[in-house]
């Protein structure tokens, strides 16, 4: 098979997927819906590859990753992060084809064995939660896709992002782990915060389901305000309005529930002080008062006595 010409028109690109989990399946279905040509898929689980392919006209489930590589111009690697480097090194690649992983944190350098054989390499990471493939199709439009590649591959990947109705950003080399870690604050760490809040609700006889039902609308309102006004300008709460007495009541009440919950509250609240000052609702000269109360709370052992 002769190598494809470069640059490749996105409409003519035969796209393949190696890895048919939630990310690979959701992305393949979304690209197909956007009018792209999804030609083949392979996965560690043949049933998963079959499920990905059966909803896409002309897409073939193939027995191996090498079969996908041999029949496609652009191959998305959507397997587990730890498997990317050894898998890429085990396959044969063609001059001019494209090998792209969808990992948020894995360096593009993991694809170097493909580059050494003449393939163009890159990263394409949608900054979105893939809880289920069908849900991914609905949640992709409007999300950000981080692209790391040289031209002409960068342009091709940007066009794919546009087709998905996503916002593309170029990620500089060496920034992937920092970029991916930043997403934790808006994703899995949000789960942690809601679990912490649910712990507090249980202390007065309410379960997690009730806590989540009450707190999700509050979180949505906060996110809407941030989207409208910005992080600092939209910050609510007692620190933002200069209410030191309430902050002290919070730390004391939470310590009685669980010192670990009080500890996390105090550490996060210390980071809220500069935001309140930036917002202009907390005078800079009052910031040390709030910091002192929160640091005092951090120094208290479970019994409540200061060291």
> How many domains are there within the chain?
2
Determine if the peptide bond prior to 157 is cis (ω within 30°): no
Q: pLDDT (tens digit, 9 = 90+) per residue, 105-158?
A: 999 999 999 999 999 999 999 999 887 888 878 889 999 999 999 999 999 999
Is residue 281 packed enough to be buried (19+ CB in 10 Å), middle (13-18) or exposed (0-12)?
Answer: middle
More confident residue, 277 or 304: 277
Assess whether 28 and 101 both reside in one domain: yes
Q: pLDDT (tens digit, 9 = 90+) per residue, 17-71?
A: 999 999 999 999 999 999 999 999 999 999 999 999 999 999 999 999 999 999 9
Assess whether 189 and 163 both reside in one domain: no
Q: Is residue 179 part of a domain?
A: no
Last residue of a domain, one of 173, 199, 228: 173
Q: Quote the strand ranges of the chain, DSSP E.
A: 14-18, 37-42, 60-61, 74-77, 98-101, 120-126, 144-149, 167-170
Q: pLDDT (tens digit, 9 = 90+) per residue, 261-271?
A: 999 999 999 99
66 in Cβ contact with 92 (< 8 Å): yes
Q: Is residue 1 part of a domain?
A: no
Assess whether 139 and 206 both reside in one domain: no
pLDDT value at position 11?
82
Mean pLDDT of 282-303: 91
Residue 249 lies in domain: 185-299
Share of the chain above pLDDT 70, in %: 95
- For the chain, give the mean pLDDT: 93
pLDDT value at position 276?
97
Last residue of a domain, one of 144, 173, 202: 173
Q: How many whole angstroms separate alpha carbon 213 and alpha carbon 218?
A: 10
Q: Is residue 69 part of a domain?
A: yes
Assess whether 18 and 149 both reside in one domain: yes
Assess whether 139 and 271 both reside in one domain: no
Q: Is residue 304 part of a domain?
A: no
Identify the H or E element spanning 26.
helix 22-33
Q: How far, CA to CA in Å, does 2 sit from each of 9, 96, 117, 223?
A: 16, 10, 14, 51
Assess whether 50 and 137 both reside in one domain: yes
Q: pLDDT (tens digit, 9 = 90+) per residue, 207-259?
A: 999 999 999 999 999 999 999 999 999 999 999 999 999 999 999 999 999 99
Question: 119 CB contacts (<8 Å, ≥6 apart)?
Answer: 93, 94, 95, 96, 97, 98, 99, 111
pLDDT value at position 305?
45
Q: Is residue 305 part of a domain?
A: no
pLDDT value at position 21?
94
Q: Is residue 2 part of a domain?
A: no
Tracing tokens 């489930």 back to the chain, one arrives at: 61
Last residue of a domain, one of 173, 198, 220: 173
pLDDT value at position 3?
41
**Reported pTM:** 0.88
57 in Cβ contact with 33 (< 8 Å): no
Q: Is residue 124 part of a domain?
A: yes
pLDDT value at position 137?
84
Confidence of residue 186 (pLDDT cuts 50, 70, 90): very high
Confidence of residue 302 (pLDDT cuts 50, 70, 90): low
Question: In this structure, what CATH number is given to the domain that contains residue 86?
Answer: 3.40.50.720
Q: How many whole angstroms separate alpha carbon 149 and alpha carbon 11?
A: 20
Assess whether 52 and 148 both reside in one domain: yes
pLDDT value at position 2?
38
Residue 81 pLDDT greater than 80, yes or no: yes
pLDDT value at position 56?
97
Q: Is residue 29 part of a domain?
A: yes
pLDDT value at position 130?
85
pLDDT value at position 10?
86
Assess whether 214 and 292 both reside in one domain: yes
Lowest average pLDDT, out of 97-101, 173-177, 210-214, 270-274, goes to 173-177
Assess whether 141 and 191 both reside in one domain: no
Question: 241 CB contacts (<8 Å, ≥6 apart)?
Answer: 281, 282
Token reading at 148: 């790391």
Assess whether 159 and 217 both reside in one domain: no
Assess whether 255 and 156 both reside in one domain: no
Assess whether 164 and 204 both reside in one domain: no
Q: How many whole angstroms separate alpha carbon 211 and alpha carbon 270?
A: 24
């Amino acid at each position: 098979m002769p190598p494809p010409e470069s640059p490749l028109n996105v409409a003519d690109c035969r796209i393949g997927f190696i890895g048919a989990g939630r990310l690979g399946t959701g992305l393949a279905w979304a690209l197909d819906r956007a009018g792209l040509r999804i030609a083949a898929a392979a996965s560690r689980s043949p049933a998963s590859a079959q499920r990905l392919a059966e909803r896409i006209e002309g897409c073939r489930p193939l027995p191996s990753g090498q079969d996908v590589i041999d029949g496609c111009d652009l191959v998305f690697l959507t397997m587990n992060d730890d498997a990317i480097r050894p898998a890429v090194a085990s396959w044969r690649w063609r001059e001019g084809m494209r090998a792209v992983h969808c990992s948020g944190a894995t360096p593009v350098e993991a694809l170097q064995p493909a580059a050494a054989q003449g393939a163009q390499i890159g990263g394409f990471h949608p900054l979105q939660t893939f809880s289920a493939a069908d849900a991914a199709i609905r949640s992709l439009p409007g999300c950000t896709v981080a692209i790391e590649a040289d031209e002409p591959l960068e342009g091709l990947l940007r066009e794919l992002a546009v087709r998905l109705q996503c916002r593309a950003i170029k990620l500089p080399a060496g920034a992937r782990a920092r970029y991916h870690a930043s997403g934790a604050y808006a994703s899995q760490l949000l789960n942690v915060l809601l679990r912490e809040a649910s712990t507090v609700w249980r202390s007065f006889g309410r379960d997690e389901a009730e806590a989540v039902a009450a707190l999700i609308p509050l979180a949505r309102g906060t996110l809407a305000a941030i989207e409208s006004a910005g992080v600092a300008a939209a910050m609510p709460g007692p620190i933002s309005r200069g209410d030191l007495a309430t902050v002290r009541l919070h730390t004391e009440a939470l310590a009685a529930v669980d010192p670990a919950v009080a500890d996390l509250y105090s550490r996060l609240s210390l980071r809220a002080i500069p935001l309140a000052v930036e917002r202009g609702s907390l005078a800079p000269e009052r910031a040390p008062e709030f910091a002192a109360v929160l640091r005092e709370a951090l120094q208290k052992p479970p019994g409540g006595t200061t060291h």
